[in-house]
Structure 1
Amino acid sequence: MRDILISALALAGTAFGQACQTTTLQTSLPSNGSEVVLRSYSYCGGIFNGSAYIANLDYNKVVSLAYTNAQGQSTPLSVVNFGYASGVGNGSQWEVWNTSTSLYIDGITELLNLTFQATDIGETYVQTLNLPVNASGAPAPTLPSPPAPYATPKGFGNDITSWLSISVGSESETAFARMFLNINPAVEGAVDGIVVAARSGPTYNQTDPDYEYHWVRDASLTMDVVQTLYAAATKAKPKTQYANILFEYATSRATEQNDPGLQTGLGEPKFYLNNTIFTGPWGRPQNDGPATSAITLMEFANSYLANGGSMDNVKQKIYNSATFSASAPVMKDLLFVASNWSSPSFDLWEEEESDHFYTRMVQRRALVMGASFATKMGDSNTSATLSTAATALTATLGQFWDPNREILLYEYGPVLANKASYLDIAVVLGVIHGYAGDGVYSYTNDEVLSSALRISTSFIDVYAIANTTADSSGRVLGIPIGRYPEDVYNGTGTQVNGGNPWYLCTAAMAQFMYSASTEFGDAGSISITNTSKPFFDYFAPGAGLQVGQSYEFGSNKYNAAINGLNGWGDAFLRTIKYYTPADGHLSEEFNRNTGVAQGAADLTWSYASVLTAAFARAELRGQKAYAKNLANLGVTANTS
């Protein structure tokens, strides 16, 4: 028999004269046959406390409680995990598992079921509850508002214009040269078409961390910069260089697809520099790679055709995997995306397996682009398949918006890796790499703006160097941006409070600001909602924008808002400039306390991200010759 006893216990004192109320469901050890039993629970001051009896059937156990949130909905987020507390009963036949979890943001209305997974023996036990929950004790706190801005930068800075100029010693030229040193690197055994992730590994002076691999995603994002340079180049020699590199990349991707050692299909994350599969333990699959690779190669093919290139070359060396499987990877990657987009995979940081906003965004862009591109290739069947998948995927994106947190969730599922804030710069990167140009989660989307604000400001209280808010000339430094506030990776291992700002993450916020500014300009107005207003209150407070109002291009308030976004874009790049070593080399991270560069040396993605931010800034300023002038430098012999 299950005793149901409601008892008032002061768990943590009283607030407003009201004690926390505990509901006790089980006063004695359960009988045999009841492998999982909720013992007691309370929801007090926004904190859920629970205790359960779990049968000691195996060693490895997972105990979780599903509930409905304040909106009466049950989602993958509406799950609380319990932890082991003690053994009880004869020979510890039973165990007590407890939880004390903050649920005030989500709220809780009903306990649905308690689940015990006995993973060693492959059994799952469930107790159905369907118990209404009444809050007690102090009122739950409300979602904190974003902080007040510590500065109000406006417009473009001459220092950043100079730093990014096409001139000897500028950061743009350094990033350009260092990035190409990592493409087809001069490393014994390396083959054409590969990109080493960093100059950190056995061949280089730095062996920890070992990044001497070709990552599918990192390589595709790097090659996307090469494609931008190809499209911009007007001199024949560099244009031919970029085209050759990109065709080599297409061949290397096809080789990867046909490797007999693939463990998870085309979602394999990384390869050795001889383009053979890495088979060691790793977070796999990573299903963003096939999408970003296909995007890059389709963009190149379109640019190549627009430049008078051969359609036969595109079909044989880029698109038609069915006939030319050894050289043309795009069709195969696109069909993989169409078949696997709904399957959980590891995130771009290679840490968590779930459904990720970043992955869905790049997959959607690949499918949308792919449907059009397949039609151009005369392949109506593949086009229809991709279009159907794109429609189905698009319908799922709305689930990532969390109205309680006012953010797009980086993943749709329970908290993993202790990332309880649900904040991750991967959301911003998902827009940068995954926006398909069709209005679906664009740079100016209200939910995207709200997310970008809360993600970026979350690092202010995490990194000590965020207290340095100006350079030696008094110019505003932007917030140093890391991957996520709870990060513990320090570039070589993990440690408590070990996560650092990343160059590529900080550059992403700069690029986001520039691209949002451009998109508002293209739209010709800025309309303010309750969701978007906090973004403008932080990044353009002087504009004084109000909910329900629309501000037309060229008006004083519109100009003030745009100047704020542009000023913050430069401020984020100024932070990178401030913490870049004198030689201009960019590692993976810079220390959260000292600002000194650390982690993998000469990270290719760091260089690529600075260049894409520079391209976005130049586009915003109408500097059409910027990418052309950089592209026309051409690639020097890669021997170092």
Structure 2
Amino acid sequence: MRSAAEELARWMDAELQVAATAIFQGVSATHLVMERSSFGEKIVPKPGSIVAAPATDLSGGDPDYFFHWLRDSSLVMDALRILHMRHAWEGAHQGFRDFVRFGLDLTGLDGTWLSQETIRKGINPDFLKYVRSDEDLARATGEALLGEVRYNPDGTLDIIKWSRPQNDGPALRALCVLRYLQVGERFGEQPTVDLLMKDLAFIERCCMEPCYDLWEEELGHHYYTHLVQMAALEDGARWLIQSGDEGQGNRLLAVAQTLRRSLDLHWSPEKRFYLSRTDSPRNTRKDLDASAILAVLHANRAEGAHSVLDPKIHATVEKLENLFAREYRINDPLPHGRGPAMGRYADDHYLSGGAWYMTTLGTAEFYYRLTERIAAGCELECCEDNASFLTRVVGDGTATTQPSTREARRKFAGAFLNRGDAFMLTVKDYTPASGELSEQFDQSTGRQTSAKNLAWSYAAFITAYDARQRARSSLFLKR
């Protein structure tokens, strides 16, 4: 009889095949056509574009996710890097080259010649109120294009009103490109360098300006955005210094240090978690936000503050788990050996307002990465901030004592691995037999809702799968 861990691994291996197949459906999807007839558009994706939800069916009431988001596309391309490194994605070089070329072409767009008058002929009059103003379209030029959030996958500007600017996309793309550069020299062609430098220059100039959050809802200064920007500047600076440009590298490091200081201001001593933003909030229910977990994962700092080893992020994760355990009916009672299905923030009203695959998978990945770091010998600080978190996961009084012996490290790492599996089992419970992953699953019924076959959900599974493989290898190699 197989153990629970073996059953989970078997399911994950099968789901990886589903995820890998599904995620490619939106990559360079030149075979697809989107008839956005209300806006007079017929969209045929170009090579290098990544459609966020290629199965979008507007006639069936699906949310319109047939766009190339800078954020989503970068996370998807980074997941494809993992498929290349571990599973020999044969099209990696051409796929990445197309992605870079498409990104560079987007930076050459110019909205100054667009106006409602020039585009209104094909638009349903009832939908004109959703079209961007002439002033907004005219701003879509030059460096401002990098705050555009999303584009049509045929390489044209999105003409629909949306939350702009969003400044995390260039940071995520820069991180993605830098990680490809580490894979091998053939990814470092001149267009790649050109795109990277454009992204780094944009981050350097705009990182202290307010923008909309990754959920595309509130304008302000956000923990997620600042953390991925800081990571991009730090990693970009190291790459520049190694490439011989010490002056520019040091300049980026100085900006990154400014961001690091601003990130520390997100910690609330009263609430004991990282606030999602530091501006005067319109609604405090979003103070505690699962975007903090995603920020730490996407930035991927090796240690210290704002890494998986940070006691303050441990406290934040624990409070997020408590929040969704209380808020969602599917978590009451919580099945044995399961972690709570995770959403975004309290009292979420977007579509079903339910749990999200990417945040539940992200929590699993958080624990897997923590497992790997502890097994590899990284220091785990035990203090007042994470005492409750460690006691919950490790399960006895020794949890608040820093693991210094080999046996203690194995105990902590094993507990973190099991906790990650608890969240992965929850994902398994709410994944249909087909293996398809939507954006959300309902907080009361567990039924899939929102966008079908969301590329970001599959990317989150791939990165969590890879994190589990590395965690188990690190743990068992240390025995």
Task: Please report the TM-score for the alignment, with normalisation by the length of structure 2.
Answer: 0.86
Q: 1:336, 1:226 → 2: CA distance?
A: 25
Task: Kindly indicate whether residue 398 of structure 2 is the aligned counterpart of residue 545 of structure 1.
Answer: yes
Question: Could you list the runs of 5+ residues in structure 1 that have no partner in the other structure?
Answer: 1-154, 322-328, 491-497, 625-640
Deviation at 1:559, TM superposition (A): 3.8
Contact kept in structure 1, 2:82 and 2:463, CA below 8 Å? no
In structure 2, the partner of 1:182 is 26
Contact kept in structure 2, 1:527 and 1:550, CA below 8 Å? yes
In structure 2, the partner of 1:120 is none
Secondary structure at the aligned position of 1:395 is classed as: helix
In structure 2, the partner of 1:317 is 191
Task: Kindly indicate whether residue 286 of structure 2 is the aligned counterpart of residue 286 of structure 1.
Answer: no
Deviation at 1:283, TM superposition (A): 0.6
Cα separation, partners in 2 of 1:205 and 1:179, compared to 1, 3 Å: farther
Match of 2:16 among 172, 178, 190: 172
Task: Kindly indicate whether residue 343 of structure 2 is the aligned counterpart of residue 478 of structure 1.
Answer: no
Secondary structure at the aligned position of 2:184 is classed as: helix
In structure 2, the partner of 1:192 is 47
Task: Kindly indicate whether residue 182 of structure 2 is the aligned counterpart of residue 336 of structure 1.
Answer: no
Q: 1:583, 1:367 → 2: CA distance?
A: 40
Give the letter for the 1:582 counterpart: A
Q: 1:220, 1:582 → 2: CA distance?
A: 28
Secondary structure at the aligned position of 1:442 is classed as: coil
Contact kept in structure 1, 2:234 and 2:256, CA below 8 Å? yes
Secondary structure at the aligned position of 1:461 is classed as: helix
Secondary structure at the aligned position of 1:592 is classed as: coil
Residue by residue, what CA displacement relative to the aligned partner does 1:335-387 show, whole Å, maximum 9, x if unpaired?
11011111111111000111111101110111011112223444344323312
Q: 2:218, 2:168 → 1: CA distance?
A: 13
In structure 2, the partner of 1:41 is none
Aligned residue-pair number: 432
Give the letter for the 1:291 counterpart: A
Q: 1:467, 1:178 → 2: CA distance?
A: 32
Q: 2:8, 2:445 → 1: CA distance?
A: 22
Q: 2:145, 2:16 → 1: CA distance?
A: 37
**Which structure: greater strand fraction?**
1
Residue by residue, what CA displacement relative to the aligned partner does 1:494-525 show, whole Å, maximum 9, x if unpaired?
xxxx4100011100000001111111222355
Secondary structure at the aligned position of 2:473 is classed as: coil
Match of 2:369 among 486, 490, 515: 515
Cα separation, partners in 2 of 1:510 and 1:213, compared to 1, 3 Å: same
Contact kept in structure 1, 2:276 and 2:286, CA below 8 Å? no
Residue by residue, what CA displacement relative to the aligned partner does 1:290-318 show, whole Å, maximum 9, x if unpaired?
0000111111122122xxx3xxx725120
In structure 2, the partner of 1:245 is 95
Give the letter for the 1:161 counterpart: A
Task: Kindly indicate whether residue 238 of structure 2 is the aligned counterpart of residue 394 of structure 1.
Answer: no
Once superposed, what is the RMSD of the aligned Cα atoms?
Answer: 2.1
Higher RCO (C-alpha under 8 Å, 6+ residues apart) = 2
In structure 1, the partner of 2:466 is 615
Match of 1:467 among 308, 315, 332: 332
Deviation at 1:177, TM superposition (A): 0.5
Q: 1:562, 1:382 → 2: CA distance?
A: 39
In structure 2, the partner of 1:487 is 348
Secondary structure at the aligned position of 2:64 is classed as: coil
Q: 2:197, 2:446 → 1: CA distance?
A: 44
Cα separation, partners in 2 of 1:452 and 1:333, compared to 1, 3 Å: same
Matches within 5 A, 1:153-172: 157-165=5-13, 170-172=14-16
In structure 1, the partner of 2:354 is 500
Q: 1:476, 1:438 → 2: CA distance?
A: 29
Secondary structure at the aligned position of 2:159 is classed as: coil
Deviation at 1:603, TM superposition (A): 0.3
In structure 2, the partner of 1:72 is none
In structure 1, the partner of 2:272 is 406
Q: 2:275, 2:456 → 1: CA distance?
A: 24
Give the letter for the 2:320 counterpart: I
Q: 2:280, 2:462 → 1: CA distance?
A: 35
Contact kept in structure 1, 2:370 and 2:413, CA below 8 Å? no
Residue by residue, what CA displacement relative to the aligned partner does 1:591-637 show, whole Å, maximum 9, x if unpaired?
1111011110000000010110000000011189xxxxxxxxxxxxx
Match of 2:154 among 271, 274, 277: 274
Deviation at 1:581, TM superposition (A): 1.2
Cα separation, partners in 2 of 1:242 and 1:270, compared to 1, 3 Å: same
In structure 2, the partner of 1:353 is 219
Match of 1:606 among 457, 460, 474: 457
Q: 2:239, 2:345 → 1: CA distance?
A: 35
Match of 1:531 among 385, 394, 397: 385
Deviation at 1:552, TM superposition (A): 2.1
Residue by residue, what CA displacement relative to the aligned partner does 1:439-485 show, whole Å, maximum 9, x if unpaired?
34210111111111111221111110001422xxxx52210000111
Secondary structure at the aligned position of 1:164 is classed as: helix
Deviation at 1:255, TM superposition (A): 1.2
Q: 1:488, 1:297 → 2: CA distance?
A: 34
Question: Could you list the runs of 5+ residues in structure 2 that have no partner in the other structure?
Answer: 34-43, 112-139
Cα separation, partners in 2 of 1:246 and 1:421, compared to 1, 3 Å: closer
In structure 2, the partner of 1:97 is none
Deviation at 1:279, TM superposition (A): 2.8
Give the letter for the 1:545 counterpart: T
Deviation at 1:254, TM superposition (A): 0.9
Deviation at 1:392, TM superposition (A): 1.7
Task: Please report the TM-score for the alignment, with normalisation by the length of structure 1.
Answer: 0.65
In structure 1, the partner of 2:114 is none
In structure 1, the partner of 2:241 is 375
Residue by residue, what CA displacement relative to the aligned partner does 1:45-96 show, whole Å, maximum 9, x if unpaired?
xxxxxxxxxxxxxxxxxxxxxxxxxxxxxxxxxxxxxxxxxxxxxxxxxxxx
Taking only the aligned residue pairs, the percentage that are identical comes to 28
Deviation at 1:565, TM superposition (A): 1.7
Cα separation, partners in 2 of 1:290 and 1:524, compared to 1, 3 Å: closer
Give the letter for the 2:406 counterpart: G
